[in-house]
Structure 1
Amino acid sequence: MAEKILIVDDDLETLRLIGMMLQKQGYQVVSAKDGTEAISLAFSEHPDMIVLDIMMPDPDGYQVARHLRSDPQTAPIPILMFTAKSQLEHKVAGYEAGADDYLTKPVHPAELIARIRALFTRAKSRGTGPLLTRRGYVVGIMAAKGGLGVSTLALNLGLAYYQKTRAEVIAAELRPGQGTWAGELGFTQDEGLTSLLEMNASDITLEDVERHLTSTTYGIRLLLTTHKAADSTKLINAIPQLEVLLFHLFTLGSFITLDIGSPYTPGLEKMLSMVDELILVTEPQPHSVKRTGQLLEELPGLGFPSTKSLSVIINNRVRADIQLSAIQIQEMLNRIKTPFIPGVTEQSYQAAMRNIPLGFLQPDGIYMQQVNELAAGYATRLRNDQFRSAGFPTASS
């Protein structure tokens, strides 16, 4: 049976010409003239591929792609964005929204057909699994002990990445009973994580996880948890639930930061096995650096392989006249680079009093300058990875 392709474009002449061309190649064609109709037809017609324009009235192509990727029924469908938007940032936004390929108008019909065939070949060779489980890039953040600014960094790194890319960003607290974001940011509902952990693992769906995310006015979504001592043991007997909810969570965002806490967090091995990258936070004090060094040695045995990216960041939370230098810390940890984040006690207090993230209070302050630099590095690297996997040249290639 011939593959069915859904074409989405608000230009009727474009719909007609592409439709005729695809029909001559033996494909079944379904057409939608706007984003709303496209979403409806994606569910009712079950197309094998979607050729999607971007420049349409609300919802535009980016919104349509994100909507389809968020639903398990339509998430596996390959999406080829076919649009006149040719700037680099438009292509990045397309891939961030969920496009499998991106082609700019005008184009020779032979190239369009070739791209469609190649995309079908890729989808068939991979099966439905990878398309269904499309996931964002996941950065776990932890420290050898508590109180070193892990939660603050996880929240503000997510915020900085969103401000640079406008991608779908999620920041998640994974320490039941030790949540801080709800209180600091003024949210009254803080039971997202604990509610999911109380469900049967087999019952947790993508919709359940998304429903328990908290939207914010500063662009990112949060998975919050409580600050109740009674909830601190929730994870001990809920590792299967943790695995399922993280699996779904990672498909809901393009960039996800995890507040893992310390090595004593239940489910640590599962978390470490599922992240793409790990950041260890330490402070310029001898004992903290020593404990960080011990944790570095233990990580492979805790489920974090040496093949994954790992970085150490020094959070200088408290100004001190006597502390280790960056060079001393690098020597102690045998690390080439250990970025310093300066302490901003007064600004942190002001942000907490106003119930906003530090990065929202002072987006260009000395703390956020370092976090913004970190986020910019991720944005550049992930953009290059996306283009490299799609066959586009990058600045480093």
Structure 2
Amino acid sequence: MGAKILVVDDDLESLKLIGMILQAKGYQIVAARDGQQALEKAFREAPDLVILDVMMPGMDGYAVCQRLRADPRTGTIPIIMFTAKGQLADKVIGLQSGADEYLTKPIHPRELIAHVEALLIRAARFQAAARPSLKAKVIGFLGCKGGVGTSTLAVNVSVALARGPAQGKKVALLEFRPGMSTLALQFGLKPRDNLQRLVDQPIGALNAEVIQAQMDRHPTGVMVLSGTPVPLGTAKSIPSLHAAAIARHLGAEVDYILIDMGADLGEVNRSLLKLVDYLLLVVEPYRIALLLAQAMLAALEGMDIGRHRVGLVLCHGAPAAVSLDRRTVEEFLQQEVKAVISPAAELAFQSAEQGQPMVLLQPESVPAMQFRQLAEFLSSL
């Protein structure tokens, strides 16, 4: 699928014509007919490039361009102003508003395509040059649904890793949930607005030093960046560009990044999955959970996350008289189970009450040994 281009023009015929020219070259088109609609679609669709008319009712193209440049979600998107206003003063205002190029109508379709292609190539080169190289091994923890123990698994494996095969190395545990976070609480740390402080900064102001200054340090050495336990919907959402930038900058400085991804494939997680080296999909040994896991695996394949990059973790939340065994789960999902976490209801309760990971609270327990084995596996990848 080609790059996604947002075309903004209040004239319907111009909008259709530009769209047809671009679609003929394989580009995806998102259309908007006024400034406010353009901003809404730019924030929602995250286009790769914007073609922007100037003369529109309400908010003109100059104002739209300035708003796009001022917002960290859209600040680096290439913008072509494409308008009938061809005076030198108009061009100067357009470029000063933040446009990368200023083209006047009418224009030959081949010339428009040439400018679009050149600007997309230039933007890709800039992003590659600005992107810090990752030295970290990035591991994702994704639940087939909520309540399967994804956060608990991520917390305990991070500790097992920091105190075991990655001892002396930098281990970071991240999440980008704008509410209902339990990471800090599971570590016995006081929840803070660290993540929100980072999100409130312009994306260009982020670097490894700024990010690490907002992270909590657990006595085991694990560096933690977590959301807050406020109800979902009451805190600002996390822009995917910020999430990816935080992971990239941090990944250039630490040895391991573990990401608690919750149980969704929304925009933030899709951006993070591009950075993940290996993904642990957490499942329960019950039919409904396996059906959801099956759908999740299919969706991941559709996102080019090959099954060789995914391992199952079978978590038993509580003892049950009847549950599906490891072999049945593997046969149903056609995927290897890399770890089984045994039920330990009393230990899990004490861990939550004391704010201490299970692997520390009872190091000789069966779940603690299983967490350590999983950490050893991840370090060997």
- TM bucket, shorter chain: 0.5 to 0.7
Q: Which secondary structure does the structure 1 equivalent of 2:279 belong to?
A: strand
1:308 Cα deviation after fit: 5.5
| CA RMSD after TM alignment | 2.3
Structure 1: gaps (5+ residues): 1-127, 382-397
Matched to 2:275, the amino acid is M
Give the 3 Å change call, closer, same or farther, for CA 131–176 of structure 1 in structure 2: closer
1:320 Cα offset (Å):
0.6
Match of 1:138 in 2: 138
The aligned residue for residue 177 of structure 1 is 179
Would you say the 8 A contact 1:284–1:325 is kept in 2?
Answer: yes
Q: Does 1:331 align with 2:310?
A: no
Deviation at 1:328, TM superposition (A): 1.1
1:290, 1:332 within 8 Å by CA — same for their partners in 2?
A: no
State the SS of the aligned residue for 1:274: coil
- Give, as a single letter, the amino acid of the residue that structure 2 aligns with 1:290: L
Match of 2:243 in 1: 242
Number of the residue aligned with 1:103: none
Q: Does 1:206 pair with 2:244? A: no
Q: After the TM superposition, which residues 92-241 of structure 1 pair with which residues of structure 2 at under 5 Å, given as runs?
A: 133-164=133-164, 165-166=166-167, 167-229=169-231, 234-235=236-237, 238-241=239-242
| Residue deviations 1:175-210 (CA, integer Å, cap 9, x gap) | 120210222333224222222122221221221111
C-alpha distance in 1 between matches for 2:153 and 2:222: 14
Contiguous gaps of at least 5 residues in structure 2: 1-127
Cα shift at 1:355: 1.8
Determine if contact 2:338/2:374 at 8 Å carries over to the other structure.
Answer: no
Amino acid aligned to 1:295:
M
**Secondary structure of the corresponding residue to residue 257 of structure 1:** strand
Q: 1:254–1:146: structure 2 CA closer, same or farther, 3 Å change rule? A: same
Residues 37-75 of structure 1: per-residue CA shift (max 9 Å, x gap): xxxxxxxxxxxxxxxxxxxxxxxxxxxxxxxxxxxxxxx
Distance 1:134 1:340 in 2: 30
Structure 1 segment 79-94 matched on structure 2, within 5 A? none
SS at match of 2:212: helix
- How far did 1:232 drift? 6.0
Count residues with an aligned counterpart.
252
Partner of residue 298, structure 2? 297
Aligned CA distance change for structure 1 residues 277 and 295 (closer, same or farther; 3 Å): same
For 2:212, the aligned partner's letter is E
- Kindly state the Cα deviation for residue 229 of structure 1 after the two structures are TM-superposed: 2.2
Change (3 A) 1:196 1:306: same
Instruction: Say if 2:136 and 2:256, in contact at 8 Å, map to a contact too.
Output: yes
Deviation for aligned residue 1:368: 1.5
Change (3 A) 1:135 1:178: farther
Distance in 1 between residues matched to 2:235 and 2:296, nearest whole Å: 23
Contact 1:197-1:235 at 8 Å conserved across structures: no
Deviates more, 1:178-187 or 1:156-165: 178-187
Which secondary structure does the structure 2 equivalent of 1:370 belong to? helix
Q: Identity of aligned pairs, percent?
A: 23
Change in Cα spacing, 1:325 to 1:146, as seen in structure 2 (3 Å) is same
Once residues 205 and 336 of structure 2 are traced to their aligned partners in structure 1, the CA distance between those partners, rounded to angstroms, is 45
Structure 2 Cα separation of the partners of residues 157 and 187 of structure 1: 17
Greater radius of gyration (CA): 2
> How far off its partner does 1:265 sit?
4.6
Structure 1 equivalent of residue 256 of structure 2 = 255
Given that residues 177 and 228 in structure 1 are in contact (C-alpha distance below 8 angstroms), is that contact kept between their aligned partners in structure 2?
yes
Q: Where has structure 1 moved over 6 Å in runs of 4 or more?
A: 128-131
